[in-house]
Amino acid sequence: MNRLLAPLVLLLVALASVAGGAVWFIQRDRQALVEQFGRDRQAQLDEAASGVARSLEDLGDNLRFASELLAQPGSAGDHHNELRALLEAVGQYRAIAVLGPDGEERLFLVDHKSRHLPREAVHPPALADTARQALTAPAGHVIPSYAIAGAASSGWMRVFATRIDSDAPGGGGAVAILVDTEPLFAPLRMVTVDENTRLLLLGAHGTPAPMSDPALASWHGRLGEPAGTLVPGLRAMVDRMRAGASGTLRLNEVEAQRLGMGPADAVATFRPLRMRGEASWSVATLSSTSALRSHERTLVLRLSLAALLVAVVLVAFGAYVVLANRRAVALRESLRHAARFAHLHEKTQKILDHIPTGILALSHEGRISGVNQALRARLPATAVGSTLPEAFPTASAAAVQRLGALVLSARDKGAVRSLHGEPLSLFNEKDQFNVHAVPLEHGDGEVSTLLVLEDLSNVRMLEDQLLRAEKLATVGVLAAGVAHEIGTPLGIIRGHAEYMLQKVGGVEHPQGRGLNAIVTQIDRVSRIIRQLLDLSRLQPARAGVVPLAPVVRGLQELLDVEAERRHVHFELDVPEQLPSLAADADQLQQVLLNLALNACDACTAGGHVRLSASACMAGDTQAVEIRVQDDGRGIAPEHLHQVFDPFFTTKKRGQGTGLGLSVVAQIVRNHGGQVEVDSEPGRGTVVTLRWPVAAAPGWEERHAV
C-alpha cells in the first residue's frame, strides 16, 4: 500500500501543477489573442472608414465649391447651368436648393433620375430648414440634417447646407443639397461580412443610421432608460463615440449575450468619420470572440496531453510499468494495423488506377464520387460530383439511360447486373462495352455502387489483326503454291502463244486477237501471283534516311503519264524543306505509286488527284503527314473497315486484285507509321499516312552510350 501511495501523491501533485500552469497559460494566451483580435478589427474598421471619410470630405468640398460658384458674379442662368452640371455629375445628389440672405428660395434643381418622384420626396421641408440654419453658421461650415423620414428616403436621405459668403449687394445666402448617403457608407458593409460582427453607425446628430444592426439600434434607444444599466459597455462606447473619440472596448459575455452576440466576450472598436475636422458621424463594430475558443480548446488539449505524458512518466516509476508496456504493445499493434490498412488502401487505389478497365464510383443519389485512371482522361474535368448524363456529354440519351437503369437494377436487387458486348456510343464512337453494375453491401452514401466499363475496342482490334494475320498466312501458302505449280506452266503457255502470234502475223490475223488475249490474261495472272508473293514475302523494313521530295519527283513523270491517260488532273504539293523520312526508298515509292494509281482509278474523266505532304506530330514523335486526295466516287461507310483486307476491292470484276492497299498498309506499319482512310460516297477519298522522320545525326550514338 505504501509503495502505491508515494507514486499516487506524486501523480496528484504533478497533475495539480500542470492544471495550475495550464490555467495561467490559458489566461495569458487568451488575453493576448483578444488584444490582437481587437487590433485586427480596428485596422479593418479604419480601412473601411477611410473610404467613407474621403466620400464625406468630397461632399463637403463639392458643397463649398457650389457656394463659391454662387458667390461669384453671374446671371441666374449661369448659376443654374453650373449647379445642374454638379447635380448630374454626382450620382448621390438628388436636388439642390439656393436660398437668399432673407431665407427665401431662389433656385431649385432636381436630377434627371428623381424627376418622376413626387415633390415632397425631392423637396422635403428639411431642405429649406437646413439651408436657413446655414445662414447663421460660419463660412465654410457644413450643416447636416437629421435623416429624412418617408418611404422614398428609407432613412438614408439627408440635407447638407453651407453659407454663401459674398460681399456683392444682394449676395450671400445658403446652398443645400439633398443627398442619398447610402452609397457613401457602402464601404462599411465589408466589415459586416463576418456573421459574428455587428455594426453601429451614428449620424451627425447621434442617431443610428439604417445600416446599424437592429438589436444595437434598439439598445441605443434604451440607453437613457433604466434598461441602459444592463449594457454598461455599450453605454460607455456610445458616450465616447458622441465625444468623437476612437479606440476599443471589451464587453463581457453576459452583456454580449444581451446584445445578441452569442455566449462569448465581444470586442468593440469605434472611430469618428470627420468632415473638415468636424466629428459628423461615428461608426463602431462589435465582434464576438467565439472564434477564439477553438484556439483555447487546442491549448487545453495540448496541456491535457502534456499532463497525460507527465502522468505516464510518473506511473512508469512505479507499479504501472507493466500496464504502460502493455499499452505500448497495444499501441504498436494498432499502428501496425493502421499502416497495413493504409498500405492496402494505397495498393487498391493504384490497382484501380492502373487496370485498363474504367471504373466509376456512384453515390446513393447517382452522382459520381470517384473515377479511376482509365476513365479520367476520357471524361470532362468536372466529372466528379456530376451525374451520368453530365459525365458523358457526347453520349446518346439511350446509352446513358441504359447505364442508369443497370445501376438502379443492381441496387434494387442487391446483385451484380451486366451488359455484355453492348454497342454503346459513350465517347462519340460506336464502341462495344462490357458493363457491370456492382452494388456494395456495406457501401455508404458516398460510394454505394461501382460501374465497371470494359472497352472492347482493343479486343476487336486484336481480333481484326489476328484475322488479317490469318489471311496473310493463307495468302503466303497460296502464293507459294500458285507460284510453284502455276508459274512455270503459264510461262510455257505464254511463250507458245507469243510464238503463234508471231507466226500468224500479229493481231491483224483472225486468230491474232485470241492469241493476244491469251498473252494479256496470262500477264494479268502473273501480276496477281507477283503481288501475292510480295504480300507474303514482305520483310521488316531496313529504314534509312530518305528525303521525300526526290522520291516523289522520281514518280512524277510516270504519274503524269497515267493521269493523262485516264484524263485526270494530277497536282503535287511536297515542300523541299520537309524532314527526311526513316524508310526503305523502294517500299516508300511502291506505297506512293499504289495510292496515286488507286486515286486515278477512282476518278472519272476530268477528276482531280492531289498528293501533298506536311510536317506533323504523331503522339510525342515528329512525323510527316502524306495525303493522297481524290474527288472520285468514294467508298461506302460499310466498306471502310475492309479496304486493307487482302482481295477486297470496290473496282469492277477483272479490274483489281484487292492486294494494293493490303501491301500499302503492311509497308507503312512495318515502318512504324499510321495509315487512315476517310471517304464519303460521291465526294471522294483521302488516304493519310503519318510516316516517322529519320533521327537526327548522332542520335543512335548518344542513345547507345
Question: What pLDDT is stored for residue 627 in this prediction?
Answer: 92
Q: Please, what is the end-to-end C-alpha distance for the chain in angstroms?
A: 80
Taking a C-beta distance cutoff of 8 angstroms, is the pair 368, 448 a contact? no
Taking a C-beta distance cutoff of 8 angstroms, is the pair 546, 585 a contact? yes
Query: At how many degrees (to 10) do helices 512-537 and 660-670 cross?
Result: 20
Closest CA to 602 of 531, 651, 660, 658: 651
Using one digit for the tens of pLDDT, what is the confidence trace for 276-329? 656 578 888 888 887 776 666 776 677 677 767 766 675 665 556 557 767 888
Question: What pLDDT is stored for residue 59 in this prediction?
Answer: 83
Q: Is 194-288 assigned to CATH 3.30.450.20?
A: yes
- Side chain identity at 91, as an amino acid letter? G
E strand or H helix at 143, and its extent?
strand 143-144
Tell me if residue 377 falls in helix, strand or coil: coil
Question: What pLDDT is stored for residue 3 in this prediction?
Answer: 47
E strand or H helix at 612, and its extent?
strand 608-618
Question: What pLDDT is stored for residue 539 in this prediction?
Answer: 55
Using one digit for the tens of pLDDT, what is the confidence trace for 27-78? 666 677 777 878 888 888 888 888 888 888 888 888 888 888 888 877 778 8
Question: What pLDDT is stored for residue 700 in this prediction?
Answer: 38
- CATH assignment, 54-183: 3.30.450
Tell me if residue 201 falls in helix, strand or coil: strand
CATH 3.30.450.20 in the chain is located at: 194-288, 357-455
Closest CA to 528 of 562, 477, 479: 479
Question: What pLDDT is stored for residue 66 in this prediction?
Answer: 83
CATH 3.30.565.10 in the chain is located at: 540-699
CATH 1.10.287 in the chain is located at: 461-536
Regions in the chain scoring below 50 on pLDDT: 1-4, 151, 654, 698-705
Closest CA to 84 of 51, 57, 120, 110: 110
Q: What share of the chain is helix, strand, coil (3-state, %, to 5)?
A: 50, 20, 30
- pTM of the predicted protein model: 0.41
Backbone angles phi, psi at 362, to 5 degrees: -115, 140
Query: All 3 cell numbers of residue 92?
Result: 448621390
Question: What pLDDT is stored for residue 105 in this prediction?
Answer: 84
Question: What pLDDT is stored for residue 698 in this prediction?
Answer: 45
Strand partners, 285: 199, 269
Q: Is 357-455 assigned to CATH 3.30.450.20?
A: yes
- The CATH-assigned architecture of domain 540-699 is 2-Layer Sandwich (3.30)
Question: What pLDDT is stored for residue 12 in this prediction?
Answer: 67
Q: Is 461-536 assigned to CATH 1.10.287?
A: yes
